[in-house]
Structure 1
Amino acid sequence: MIVLLALPLVACGSPGDPAPAPAPTTTAFARTPEDCTELTVTALEVQPGVANLFGTHAELLPKGQFVRVRIAIGNTGSRVHDTRSEDYQLVDTAAAGHRLGIDPMRVERQLFELQIGAGNRLEMDLWYDIPVGAVPHELRDTVCASTIPLPGR
């Protein structure tokens, strides 16, 4: 019985033990001009007015209305390219820009940073929380300074 009580103290180590190695650092994410020319983004579907989201661990209500934009990203190049979902801003018919909804993206388990292999295509959803009454018009790629028309707009 005494051995079991002493075991947790041994597992914690002693003050003379060396400190664990620091976690490796990563470089800052940056898209290149080549990423902009070799990635094609197409909006496939727009679903405005989503009233709430349910995930495996959360339920989320919008401040206004959730809008889901299904996109396809294709890599026409011969190497891996990077992109970030937060670089795509939703623009409404009044020309107001809306940033990506971080909480809806997490609830729906969508990626924030993507690597797309050469010749590959990826589909994903972008989620936004925009004011009630705002009408989605297009996506704006804030890094590549391009616009992506929404279907039916």
Structure 2
Amino acid sequence: MRTLTAVAGIAILLAATTAACSDDAPATTTYDLPARKVRDGEKALHTGTVQSGFLAFTVIGYTGGMKVLAGSHADKPPRGLYTRVRLVVENRDRSTQTLDVRKQFLITSDGTAHTRDRQSTLIKRQPATTLDIGAAMRIEFDLWYDVPHGAKPVAVRLHGTPSIFSPADALPPPAEVRLG
């Protein structure tokens, strides 16, 4: 009888715990992420998400025409003007992907593809070479460029990661996002 009473007690406790832990609210299909203010002169962009390989890219901010860069340990004037692009990258694969940050280009109105500026990237402590992005992980960071005076940034060309069946140096077709 004691065993039966103990089993019945455990069953009642388990049922009560399960009921207390269940969420009666209806399930939603999206996360509620809090809105944040843009930073020093940045323009919020609502460009939608594009994909290249296993990585999805969302450009969320743009700052152009910057005449100086101030960091915690250095100030550096550009050769032309600095441009900053705020980017969210999501890995849509089940394994870690290595993003080559050096292969993300700023396109100007004359069609020139500009590589990131290494010095401003280091001063602002952003990813300099590659970045491992875990399975189903999102990461947000800035791409910094130093473009010539008179050049008008119009897009970013974003390269994701190749499939595991591709040669290591092969890139999937890039995705382009217009900045204006």
After TM superposition, the score normalised by the length of structure 2 is 0.61
Q: Deviations over 1:57-94 (max 9, x none)?
A: 11110000000000110011111110121110110111
Question: Are 2:178 and 1:139 equivalent residues in the alignment?
Answer: no
Question: Are 2:102 and 1:86 equivalent residues in the alignment?
Answer: yes
**Rg: which structure is higher?**
2
CA distance in 1, matches of 2:178, 2:140: 15
SS in 1 for 2:56: strand
| Aligned position for 2:176 | 148
Question: Are 2:145 and 1:117 equivalent residues in the alignment?
Answer: no
| Aligned position for 1:66 | 82
Displacement of 1:150 after TM fit? 3.3
Kindly indicate whether the alpha-carbon contact (under 8 Å) linking 2:53 and 2:173 is maintained by their aligned counterparts in 1.
no
SS in 2 for 1:79: coil
Kindly indicate whether the alpha-carbon contact (under 8 Å) linking 1:43 and 1:150 is maintained by their aligned counterparts in 2.
no
Unaligned stretches of 5+ in structure 2? 1-51, 160-170
CA distance in 2, matches of 1:105, 1:71: 14
Displacement of 1:145 after TM fit? 3.2
CA distance in 1, matches of 2:175, 2:79: 26
CA distance in 2, matches of 1:125, 1:97: 17
SS in 1 for 2:95: coil
CA distance in 2, matches of 1:119, 1:147: 19
Provide the alpha-carbon RMSD of the alignment: 1.7
* Equivalence map 1:26-45=2 (5 Å): 36-45=52-61
Question: Are 2:88 and 1:102 equivalent residues in the alignment?
Answer: no
**More off after superposition, 44-53 vs 58-67:** 44-53
Instruction: Return structure 1 stretches of 4+ with deviation > 2 angstroms.
Output: 141-145
**More off after superposition, 137-146 vs 72-81:** 137-146
Kindly indicate whether the alpha-carbon contact (under 8 Å) linking 1:138 and 1:147 is maintained by their aligned counterparts in 2.
no
Aligned residues: 118
SS in 2 for 1:71: strand
The structure whose RCO (Cα within 8 Å, separation 6+) is larger is 1
Displacement of 1:111 after TM fit? 0.8
Kindly indicate whether the alpha-carbon contact (under 8 Å) linking 1:42 and 1:148 is maintained by their aligned counterparts in 2.
no
